[in-house]
Structure 1
Amino acid sequence: MSKPVILALTAGEPAGIGPELCLQLAGEEREAGIVVVAAMPLLSDRARQLGLNVELHHWQPGDLAETRAGHLSVCHVDGCQTTVAGELDPANSQYVLTTLSVAANGCLNGDFDGMVTAPVHKGVINEAGIAFSGHTEFLQELCGVERVVMMLATEELRVALVTTHLPLKDVSAAITPERLTQVTRILNADLKSFFGIERPRILVAGLNPHAGEGGHLGREEIEVIEPTLEQLRGEGIQLTGPLPADTLFTPHWLKNADAVLAMYHDQGLPVLKFQGFGRAVNITLGLPIVRTSVDHGTALDLAGTGTADAGSLHTAIRVGQHMARCRRANNAGESA
């Protein structure tokens, strides 16, 4: 029998809905082995507050992860202060970052097959005097990689981004041949290694309306995007585009695609979130580890009420498990 997949699940901001989403997982038997990386008292206190009967088990490297209903494995992390659901406390910021480090390092050394992240609150971490721009950048630095790619996915659609959190006025200058080449290569390689797609088919959106309309609505397609895509096709990458974004996201094109590459954040993600908000997953490509996340924030107003929807977390776990299995199979094939 093959070794079961074990995913680390960071509980995120202690005052948010992350801890209770983790506890909700214990409501039924699970296929994936999940180890929650969090402070044990935080989870036990939130379980009492919500009236959840969950038995928490201290987990150590080498242990199997609990999959039984009513049970949850926990990799305990110290440093969480007394927490009131819905009330942020900057004193917990270093603890939150420690949970990410524990999970990521556990993936790098083989204790975990991947990590899933519940939402953190970037604002309160920065208020604590710690420069933090997000999970993605934190994990990029920890893993020591030059470029990462943000991709959101549902069961039916995958959308990766060339640029992410930039003002619109800065997007055009950021789309360079170098960046577009790096992002496309990472997307193509990780669709193979993490999703088991032998020859990925990628649709590429243009930057301008009508993909520039032959230069009448902008020249980025002519001067940067088209030449770069042609060079990448020479490497054997299957690319279609640049296509106008307003027609790319139609069944005619999507039915023959494994992923869409959008030029900027609000070009691709509104479509995906309309199509599957609450069951989408945020994936970081370009890392040497599997990392998925929920598609929502900390929802402080819902924390402690027991009404938070765990749909996106379930999707993130399913996708993380699939990615971990594909990566394991790919590595086994390479070493055979």
Structure 2
Amino acid sequence: MSKKPIVGITMGDGAGVGPEIIIKSLQHQHLYEQAHPIVIGDASRLVKANDILGNKVKIVRLKDTDAFDATEYGTVHCLDLHLLPEDLPFGKVSAEAGNAAFHYLKKAIELANQQKISAICTAPLNKEALHKGGHQYPGHTEILAELTGTADFSMMLSSPKLKVIHVTTHVGLLDAINMIEPERVLRVIKLAHDTLSKSGVAAPKIGVCGINPHAGENGLFGYGEEEEKIIPAIERAQGDGINVEGPLPADTLFFRAQRGDFDIVVAMYHDQGHGPIKVLGLESGVNITVGLPIIRTSVDHGTAFDIAGKGIADEGSMLEALRQAIELAPK
């Protein structure tokens, strides 16, 4: 493997903004100074996106992995799986695009397991299209977990001022509350601690959200969920020497964390954690799946069908996701 990491970029849903933000991101020369980026997708779709953007780069089709460590600035190299119809419209849910997005990711996981790429960076997929394409997963995270045989995993969102890890993600709120239990909360606290420790943070400070307003306020709100589901996990983690505090009211915890009081926040459900990160800026948020045997980062936004194919999508989140994939990848 090259001294520079090889980062596999999955194209995501070809009807969304993925092809455009990939082309825009790979116009930044510094990426090629730090890594060999390879797109896993449909080269013809990248050509269309490149045309929309004014033919900014040269698209190079790859049929195998031999040239993965020979990328150069000014070109976008694509391992071409050739799964999409030529007339696929932008901005519409498509079973073909959903199926293709699954197979791009599956191929990337195979390459990572074979150590032919060092990390995976994913462009967004559309869950409705994924399901229409015959793949009944809530999202990227669950596909990655199943195809790598990973039982303990979690979604971590990262921005320059705030990191958030989730106990539950793509389930309804009532289901999420039912799923929260001490063992699950403890596993996520440990994943947060281990992930930050490996990245060089000494004794990471972890803040844990409550479920109810004001973290239940000693039984005033809710039915004792904090006492039953969260506090036992925190006490066990503290007993293991982990620097963790909670359950804390979510409405003030995120402010305290971005101020620097905590290195990471443990959120109980999807919107509790996603909202604060996205308020800080979609262009800087990155989705990282922790607990996997391979490195995977992703943009923290969706397929944006309303602007797909118009050439106006912002590549900031993709650039940040690529930066973190390069940083985390084995050298």
Whether these two folds match at TM > 0.5 is yes
Q: Secondary structure at the match of 1:249?
A: helix
Cα deviation digits, residues 54-83 of structure 1 (max 9, x gap): 112344435315241x21121221322212
Q: 1:73 aligns with which of 64, 72, 77?
A: 77
Partner of 2:268 in structure 1?
263
Q: Is 1:131 paired with 2:136?
A: yes
State the shift of 1:291 in Å: 0.9
State the shift of 1:97 in Å: 1.3
Partner of 1:112 in structure 2?
117
Partner of 2:15 in structure 1?
15
| Contact 2:118–2:329, Cα closer than 8 Å, also in 1 | yes
Partner of 2:180 in structure 1?
175
Aligned pairs for 1:197-276 (under 5 A) are 197-218=201-222, 219-251=224-256, 254-276=259-281
Q: Secondary structure at the match of 1:215?
A: coil
Q: Secondary structure at the match of 2:329?
A: helix
State the shift of 1:270 in Å: 1.2
Q: Secondary structure at the match of 1:78?
A: coil
Count of equivalent residues: 324
Q: Secondary structure at the match of 1:12?
A: coil
| Contact 1:15–1:88, Cα closer than 8 Å, also in 2 | yes
| Contact 2:99–2:129, Cα closer than 8 Å, also in 1 | no
Separation in structure 1 between the aligned mates of residue 269 and residue 209 of structure 2, nearest angstrom: 9
| Contact 1:205–1:241, Cα closer than 8 Å, also in 2 | yes
State the shift of 1:154 in Å: 0.5
Q: List runs of 5+ in structure 1 lacking aligned partners.
A: 329-336
| Contact 1:5–1:321, Cα closer than 8 Å, also in 2 | yes
Q: Taking structure 2 as the reference length, what is the TM-score of the superposition? A: 0.91
| Contact 2:41–2:81, Cα closer than 8 Å, also in 1 | yes
Separation in structure 2 between the aligned mates of residue 210 and residue 298 of structure 1, nearest angstrom: 34
Distance change >3 Å, CA 298–CA 172, structure 1 → 2: closer
Partner of 2:50 in structure 1?
47
State the shift of 1:240 in Å: 1.3
State the shift of 1:269 in Å: 1.8
Aligned letter for 2:81? V
Aligned letter for 1:37? I
| Contact 2:186–2:237, Cα closer than 8 Å, also in 1 | yes
Separation in structure 2 between the aligned mates of residue 89 and residue 212 of structure 1, nearest angstrom: 43
Separation in structure 2 between the aligned mates of residue 305 and residue 140 of structure 1, nearest angstrom: 33
CA RMSD of aligned residues (A): 2.1
State the shift of 1:100 in Å: 0.4
Q: Secondary structure at the match of 2:227?
A: helix
State the shift of 1:101 in Å: 0.8
Partner of 1:296 in structure 2?
301
Q: Secondary structure at the match of 1:27?
A: coil
Cα deviation digits, residues 73-132 of structure 1 (max 9, x gap): 212213222123224432333322111011111112211111111111111222233323
State the shift of 1:169 in Å: 2.5
Partner of 1:144 in structure 2?
149
Q: Secondary structure at the match of 2:155?
A: strand
| Contact 2:94–2:132, Cα closer than 8 Å, also in 1 | no
Separation in structure 2 between the aligned mates of residue 252 and residue 33 of structure 1, nearest angstrom: 34
Q: Taking structure 1 as the reference length, what is the TM-score of the superposition? A: 0.89
Distance change >3 Å, CA 88–CA 170, structure 1 → 2: closer
Separation in structure 1 between the aligned mates of residue 169 and residue 257 of structure 2, nearest angstrom: 27
Partner of 1:64 in structure 2?
69
Distance change >3 Å, CA 211–CA 13, structure 1 → 2: same
Distance change >3 Å, CA 67–CA 233, structure 1 → 2: farther
Q: Is 1:305 paired with 2:310?
A: yes
Q: Which piece of structure 1 moves more, 20-29 or 301-310?
A: 20-29
Partner of 1:28 in structure 2?
28
Distance change >3 Å, CA 291–CA 253, structure 1 → 2: closer
Distance change >3 Å, CA 261–CA 109, structure 1 → 2: same
Q: List runs of 5+ in structure 2 lacking aligned partners.
A: none
Aligned letter for 2:27? G
| Contact 1:32–1:67, Cα closer than 8 Å, also in 2 | no
Separation in structure 2 between the aligned mates of residue 24 and residue 74 of structure 1, nearest angstrom: 15
Percent identity, please. Answer: 37
State the shift of 1:199 in Å: 2.3
Distance change >3 Å, CA 314–CA 65, structure 1 → 2: farther
Separation in structure 1 between the aligned mates of residue 247 and residue 115 of structure 2, nearest angstrom: 39
Aligned letter for 1:12? G
Aligned letter for 2:58? E
Distance change >3 Å, CA 299–CA 253, structure 1 → 2: closer
Aligned letter for 1:35? I
